[in-house]
């Protein structure tokens, strides 16, 4: 069965510092991987996705993530945090054989200190 | 830019009552989903829908739940007899051919 683990329910960084949000997954077939962001009282917005091809994917707002099959990881990074990055971030996995439903991790709340 | 819309934004109901949550997916999408997020918890898959039938459902999606695409544009989730534990944010999503799901803003359901 698919599952997603996000290490750290809360991550706090200073403005301008590197952001690293960790995501590990389990899947019996090559998965599709996603990062979504949720701002307070809003829906989910896609940051980036990996389906096939280049393992380093770039998304919106300066975020990127690297698919590492050997480590079953898809960590999200941003070189320099901005106050507006404060939000909840969800990693998700889907498989073609399962209607492409998304299985989400438990989320990481990013706090950005001035 | 096309978007998924959901109504109402907030629904308050009494335990045991029926509720219908409505979604308008992106017009050329063919795959539709409902998810829910209980306050402070992760987003959970409920059901997927394609070609006018359920393609997959989770354990949460029991006989109290049903989905329908009544008129080719709306996609609805019905909860027949609401329970306190149904209180959550319900998200609709639709998908085109690029495997990317677009989410609506959600309906907050409060069961009293």
Q: pLDDT per residue over A7-21, tens digit each? A: 999 999 999 999 999
Q: What is the pLDDT of residue B97?
A: 79
Strands B5-7 and A19-21: unpaired
Mutate to test the interface with B, among A2, A32, A39, A101 (most CBs of B within 10 A): A101
Q: What is the pLDDT of residue B2?
A: 79
Helix/strand/coil (H, E, C) string of chain B?
A: CCCCEEECCEEEECCCCCEEEEEECCCCCCEEEEEEECCCCCEEEEEEEECCEEEEECCCCCCCEEEECCCCCCEEEEECCCCHHHCEEEEEEEECCCCCEEECCCEEEEEC
- Contact (Cβ atoms closer than 8 angstroms) between residue A25 and residue A1: no
Q: pLDDT per residue over A83-106, tens digit each? A: 999 999 999 998 777 788 999 999
Q: What is the pLDDT of residue B33?
A: 97
Q: What is the pLDDT of residue B55?
A: 94
Mutate to test the interface with B, among A44, A50, A53, A96 (most CBs of B within 10 A): A44
Q: Which 8-state DSSP code applies to residue A76?
A: E
- Contact (Cβ atoms closer than 8 angstroms) between residue A50 and residue A16: no
- Contact across the interface for A100 and B91, Cβ inside 8 Å: no
Q: pLDDT per residue over A51-75, tens digit each? A: 888 889 999 999 999 999 999 999 9
Q: What is the pLDDT of residue A53?
A: 86
Q: Would an 8 Å CB–CB cutoff place A56 in contact with chain B?
A: no
Question: In this complex, how many residue pairs, one in chain A and one in chain B, have their CB atoms less than 8 Å apart?
Answer: 52
Sign, CA torsion B11/B86/A104/B100: negative
Helix (H) or strand (E) run with residue A19 in it: strand A19-21
Q: Flag residues of chain B having pLDDT under 50.
A: none
Please list every residue in chain A whose beta carbon sits closer than 8 Å to the beta carbon of residue B104. 43
Q: What is the pLDDT of residue A14?
A: 97
Please list every residue in chain B whose beta carbon sits closer than 8 Å to the beta carbon of residue A36. 103
Q: What is the pLDDT of residue A113?
A: 96
Q: pLDDT per residue over A32-45, tens digit each? A: 999 999 998 788 99
Hey, is A74 helix, strand or coil?
strand
Q: What is the pLDDT of residue B62?
A: 93
pLDDT-above-90 percentage for chain A: 75
Q: What is the pLDDT of residue A25?
A: 93
């Amino acid at each position: 069965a698919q599952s997603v683990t996000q290490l750290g329910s809360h991550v706090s960084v200073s403005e301008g510092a590197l952001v690293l949000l960790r995501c590990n997954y389990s899947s019996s077939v090559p998965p599709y991987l996603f990062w979504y962001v949720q701002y307070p009282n809003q829906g989910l917005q896609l940051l980036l996705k990996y389906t096939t091809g280049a393992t380093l994917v770039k998304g919106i707002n300066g975020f990127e993530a690297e698919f590492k099959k050997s480590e079953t990881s898809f960590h999200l990074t941003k070189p320099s945090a901005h106050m507006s990055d404060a939000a909840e971030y969800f990693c998700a996995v889907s498989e073609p054989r399962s209607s492409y439903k998304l299985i989400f991790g438990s989320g990481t709340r990013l706090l950005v200190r001035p | 830019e096309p978007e998924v819309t959901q109504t109402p934004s907030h629904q308050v109901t009494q335990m045991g009552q029926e509720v219908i949550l409505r979604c308008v997916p992106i017009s050329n999408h063919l795959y539709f989903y409902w998810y829910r997020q209980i306050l402070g918890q992760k987003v959970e898959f409920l059901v997927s829908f394609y070609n006018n039938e359920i393609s997959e459902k989770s354990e949460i999606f029991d006989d109290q739940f049903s989905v329908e695409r009544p008129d080719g544009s709306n996609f609805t989730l019905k909860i027949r007899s609401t329970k306190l534990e149904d209180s959550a944010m319900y998200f609709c999503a639709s998908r085109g051919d690029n495997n990317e799901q677009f989410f609506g803003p959600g309906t907050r359901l409060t069961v009293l």
